[in-house]
Structure 1
C-alpha cells in the first residue's frame, strides 16, 4: 500500500472513468502549491479501459488507487474513496479539473475561520478561459418553468426569472448558495458525518443537488469562495456518449424531484420538462430547415427527441 502522512488534513478524492488525458493534468496540478496542509490523494477508477489505472500506478506511486471491477457511478465511487480516507476535510475533484495555486489552502482556511461552513467550492474557469457558472438555486416549479420558456436567458439580469441559474449574480463574490455543482467540493468531515454519504441511488448527476440540499437541512452552510480557483475542462466522461449522458441528467433531475418534492410538484415538473424539450426540438428543427448541415443543431434535435421519448416512457411513472 502507498504511504500517506501520519496526519492528513485534506483527502483529495478523484473518480475517473476513461479520462486518462484529463486525469494526467489533474494529478499534475495537485502539488504543494495548491495545498499547504498534509494531503493524501485517492483515485477511484470506475473500470476504465484506456489505461488510466496503470498510468496512475506507474507515474504516481504515492497516490492511493482503487480499481473498481465495474463502473460504480459517481456517487458510489466517491463513497468508496471516502471509506479509505482519513482527512479532516474531503476534497472531491473531477478528473477533468486542474486545481490552481492556493485553491485548496484557501478553501480550508475559510472553513477554519467559519465553523458553520460544511461545504465550500471555488470559482470555476472553463477550458476556454471564461467563467463557468458553478452555483445554482434549488429547482422549483417556477424557476423550471422560467427555464423551459428561456425567460432566464431573455431576462438574465432579473432575479425573478433566474432563480435556478442565478444569472442575475455574476458569481464573483463570496456568498452562501443553494447548490455547488459537483465538479469540485471541499467538505468538512464533521459535517459529512452528520449529513451522510452521497446518495448512491444517483448513478451520475443529481447527487450534487441532493447532497447540498441535505447539508442545508442539517444546518450546514454551502459557500462559494471565489478567491480559490480551478479550471474545469468538462465532458471527460460524458463526451464518450453525449446523448446517453444527457438523458441520464434528466433521469437524475426527476429522481431529485421525487425525493424532495410532493407528488403534485413532480407532476408539474414532468409537464414542464415535456414543454422544455418540445420547444427545444421545435426550435432546433426550424433552424435545420435553413441550415441542414448544422452539426450542433442536429445533435440537439437528437438529444431533445431522445428525452421526449424518455419522458413518456414507463420509467417516469410516479
Structure 2
C-alpha cells in the first residue's frame, strides 16, 4: 500500500496551450518516482479543447476545470491544495520534463533536508540554455539592465548581478530566484511559507515566493546536473502585448510589496528610462533593418503600452489585478 502513496505531486496550470500541455504530459509518463507520480492539471477555462484532450488521452490525470481564467498563482494554489505528495513540482504546460529530472531533484532534497526548493537547468526549444535562475531585483541591477550595462559589460559581475552569468554550472548553488517554469518544493516548506500570493495574476509570483522561502529560512538551490526543456510563451503568445504589460505590472507589484515607497519611486523612474530607451532604439532599428522591421515595431508597441499603463494605473489595479 505504501507504494501507492505518491512521493511527488505535479501541478500544471494550463490556459489555451493544448499542444504544449499534451507534450508535457507525455514527457511525464516516463517520470514516475518509485513507480508512482500524482499529476494534477488545473485548466483556466481553456477554449482550445485542452480539457477534452486531457480527459481522452490522459484519463488518470486529475483534471481540475476552473470556471474562469483565475490566473497562474491562484490556479497553482488550487492544484497544491489537492496534492498528496511529500514533494510538489510546479511545472509550466510548455515544459518537456527529462525522464530522470524529477527523481534527481527529489533525491537531492532527500539528501539536503534544510533546502526548501530546487530547480533544474532550463534549456530552450532552440537547444540553448535559458535563464534558469537569477538574483533578486535591486535598484542597481535594474538600472544596469535599463542602460544595457549588463550587455556592454557582460563579463563584469558588478553589472550583471540580476542574471547571474558568472554562476558556475559545475556545482549546485544557492540562488535567490529559480525559473518559475519548473520548481520542486518540499511540502513542509510550503506549509511554513504559505501558498503563492494570488494578488499576482501572472508573473511576479516567482520572485515573491522565492523571497518568502528565503525569509522563512528555507534555502533555494539551483541543480545544474539535470535539465528540462522550456519552450516558453505557450499562453502569453495568445496576447503578447497584453502579457508584456502584465509582466511590468507584476514587477511593480513585487516592488510595492517588498520595498519602501522611496525605492518604489526610484524603481519607476528606472522603468520609464528603460522603456524610453527601448522605444528610441527599436524605432531606429525598424527604420534601418527592413528584414526585422515588424519585430522591432512590436517591441516599440509593447514598451509604449507599458509607459501608458504606468502613467495611468492606480493602486487598486495593483491590489486587485484584472484577468489577462
TM-score range, shorter chain: over 0.9
Secondary structure in 2 aligned to 1:131? coil
CA contact (8 A) 2:141 2:162 kept: yes
State the TM-score, normalized to the length of structure 1.
Answer: 0.96
| Counterpart Cα distance in 1 of 2:229 and 2:51 | 23
* Structure 1 partner of 2:151: 153
Superimposed CA distance per residue, residues 241-284 of structure 1 (whole angstroms, 9 cap, x where no aligned partner): 11100000000000000000000000000000000000010111
Aligned counterpart for 1:101 among listed residues 92, 99, 102: 99
CA contact (8 A) 1:35 1:103 kept: no
> Structure 1 residue 47: deviation in Å?
0.2
State the TM-score, normalized to the length of structure 2.
Answer: 0.94
| Higher deviation after alignment, 156-165 or 45-54 | 156-165
| Counterpart Cα distance in 2 of 1:239 and 1:39 | 30
CA contact (8 A) 1:5 1:40 kept: no
CA contact (8 A) 1:11 1:39 kept: yes
| Counterpart Cα distance in 2 of 1:290 and 1:225 | 42
Aligned counterpart for 1:229 among listed residues 227, 230, 243: 227
CA contact (8 A) 2:31 2:102 kept: no
* Structure 2 partner of 1:300: 299
Secondary structure in 2 aligned to 1:132? coil
* Structure 2 partner of 1:198: 196
The answer to whether 1:257 aligns with 2:284 is no
CA contact (8 A) 1:195 1:215 kept: yes
Structure 2 gaps, min length 5: 319-324
| Counterpart Cα distance in 2 of 1:127 and 1:292 | 26
Aligned counterpart for 2:212 among listed residues 214, 229, 237: 214
CA contact (8 A) 2:133 2:222 kept: yes
| Counterpart Cα distance in 2 of 1:112 and 1:154 | 41
User: 1:1-318 to 2 correspondence within 5 Å?
Assistant: 6-33=4-31, 35-36=33-34, 38-169=36-167, 171=169, 173-291=171-289, 294-315=293-314
> Structure 1 residue 100: deviation in Å?
0.5
CA contact (8 A) 1:11 1:91 kept: yes
Superimposed CA distance per residue, residues 20-41 of structure 1 (whole angstroms, 9 cap, x where no aligned partner): 0000100000024463453100
| Counterpart Cα distance in 1 of 2:116 and 2:301 | 40
CA contact (8 A) 1:138 1:164 kept: yes
| Counterpart Cα distance in 2 of 1:315 and 1:304 | 19
| Counterpart Cα distance in 2 of 1:206 and 1:239 | 18
Superimposed CA distance per residue, residues 23-74 of structure 1 (whole angstroms, 9 cap, x where no aligned partner): 0100000024463453100000000000001111111111000000100000
C-alpha RMSD of matched pairs (Å): 1.6
| Counterpart Cα distance in 1 of 2:169 and 2:185 | 20
Structure 1 gaps, min length 5: none
| Counterpart Cα distance in 1 of 2:31 and 2:199 | 36
| Counterpart Cα distance in 2 of 1:121 and 1:214 | 16
Secondary structure in 2 aligned to 1:307? helix
> Structure 1 residue 107: deviation in Å?
0.2
Superimposed CA distance per residue, residues 88-135 of structure 1 (whole angstroms, 9 cap, x where no aligned partner): 000000000000021000000000000111010011000000101120
Secondary structure in 2 aligned to 1:243? helix
